[in-house]
Structure 1
Amino acid sequence: MHTSTKVIKMSVNQIEIPENVEVTIEGNKITVKGENGEIQRTLQSSAIDIQKKDNKLTLQSTTDRKKHRAELGTFTSHIQNMIKGSQENFEYVLKVVYSHFPIKMEVKQNKLYIKNFLGEKNPRVVELIGEKTEVEISDDEVIVRGPNKEAVAQTAAKIQEGTKIKGKDPRVFQDGMYVISRG
């Protein structure tokens, strides 16, 4: 009589925590503190277990299903981005392009006002995402900075989307703000 035993493989990822970074785990909530600030995020999964031991985080999948391995990789990337953001800012640079009407911009109370876009009388308003996301304006560039990678990326995307032209030929009207570098 032959009996087979099924061996369950589990995926494991480890993340080194730098000396000047403090990571705390409370249930599903992960907090990363560093010299650049504090970032909090809730990572919830029934199949991923996150443990902190000494200066390492261990993320372990309780099953070997493709869905859970993908989730494990996503959680690992999120935590690595949080650690990097707690040490230095992420930065997106947008190029301001206009040929018809000069674009004027102004930041007030967590909002970016885009004035005179295509000669419009009312400004286009883009709300900044994230508490610590900053926007720096120069003549032909807009720089979006902050410790939270997703907040910076979403803010840059909203600015680019906020200057989208509808109802005109895009080959003639190429005015707008376009992401030219990410970092």
Structure 2
Amino acid sequence: MEAQANTAQPAKGNANGDSRLATKTSRVGKRPIDLPKGVTATVNGRKIDVKGPKGQLSRAITDKVDIKLEGSRLHVSSVAPGRDGSRLQGLTRALVAAMVKGVAEGYERTLELKGTGYRVELKGTTLNFALGFSHPVTFAVPTGLTATIPADSKGTILVLTGADKELIGQTAATIRGFRPPEPYGGKGVRYRGERVREKAGKAGKGGKK
């Protein structure tokens, strides 16, 4: 009896049948990015520049993806094989979309200071914090960001605004790190809306066990 012919076909992907090397497309990454009115973008080699009413941002582009400008839309495509290409396509698309939104609308992050005597004041581009230490904490506001202290907050609220979402996030995290909220009483610097899980104070010697 003759052996049955093997009719199995190579997996789709490349000439060798290795599907792991096929270029994959991210479902999110393939969505085009619309440029709002007043926003322009320029792709020059491995660099993209985005300009709008709130500022101008630039970013280097990995060689694993391509970005093309077609009319008022940006398209991000993967040129790398496998999951890495898909992941980088989605990541790049998210970063560029954040740039577009930043120069069009801007971003904002609010910090609150809680504690007796906790205050912040702005002198020029330098923030001076009183956070219960024996000395003030000073911090230079990064270029590209604006820091404001609402007059009615008595120095207990700090608002950061700017076009760069990453820079605002990093700056807010740095400031929060000067005095993170304490688990007992919640004193410290916190993000507006942040829930701080506070612990009950320890009972004294005469308290309940």
Question: What TM-score, normalized to structure 1?
Answer: 0.82
- Correspondent of 1:151 among 157, 167, 174: 167
Q: Is the 8 A contact 2:24 2:83 kept in 1?
A: no
More strand per residue: 1
Q: Quick one: distance in 1 between partners of 2:11 and 2:147?
A: 58
- Correspondent of 1:113 among 118, 128, 131: 128
Specify the alignment match of 2:92 in structure 1: 75
User: How far 1:13 sits from its partner (Å)?
Assistant: 3.8
User: Is 1:33–2:51 an aligned residue pair?
Assistant: yes
User: Is 1:180–2:197 an aligned residue pair?
Assistant: no
User: How far 1:181 sits from its partner (Å)?
Assistant: 4.6
Note the residue ranges of structure 2 that are not aligned, 5 or more in a row: 1-5, 14-21, 195-209
User: How far 1:103 sits from its partner (Å)?
Assistant: 1.7
Specify the alignment match of 1:17 in structure 2: 35
Specify the alignment match of 1:102 in structure 2: 117
User: How far 1:9 sits from its partner (Å)?
Assistant: 4.6
Q: Quick one: distance in 2 between partners of 1:122 and 1:39?
A: 36
Q: Is the 8 A contact 1:30 1:41 kept in 2?
A: yes
Partner AA of 1:18 in structure 2: P
**Identity rate of aligned residues, in percent?**
23
Q: Which has the larger radius of gyration?
A: 2
Partner AA of 2:38 in structure 1: N
Specify the alignment match of 2:137 in structure 1: 124
Partner AA of 2:105 in structure 1: E
After superposition, the CA RMSD in angstroms is 2.4
Alpha-carbon distance change, 173 to 19 in structure 1, aligned in 2, over 3 angstroms? closer
Note the residue ranges of structure 1 that are not aligned, 5 or more in a row: none
Alpha-carbon distance change, 172 to 109 in structure 1, aligned in 2, over 3 angstroms? same
- Correspondent of 2:180 among 161, 164, 172: 164
Q: Quick one: distance in 2 between partners of 1:111 and 1:41?
A: 27
Q: Is the 8 A contact 1:125 1:162 kept in 2?
A: no
SS at structure 2 position matched to 1:144: strand
SS at structure 2 position matched to 1:20: coil
1:81-105 deviation per Cα after TM superposition (whole angstroms, max 9, x unaligned):
111111112111112100xx31231
Partner AA of 2:33 in structure 1: I
Q: Quick one: distance in 2 between partners of 1:72 and 1:171?
A: 40
Question: What TM-score, normalized to structure 2?
Answer: 0.72
Q: Quick one: distance in 1 between partners of 2:11 and 2:85?
A: 22
Partner AA of 2:46 in structure 1: N
1:47-90 deviation per Cα after TM superposition (whole angstroms, max 9, x unaligned):
21111121121111123422221111111111111111111121
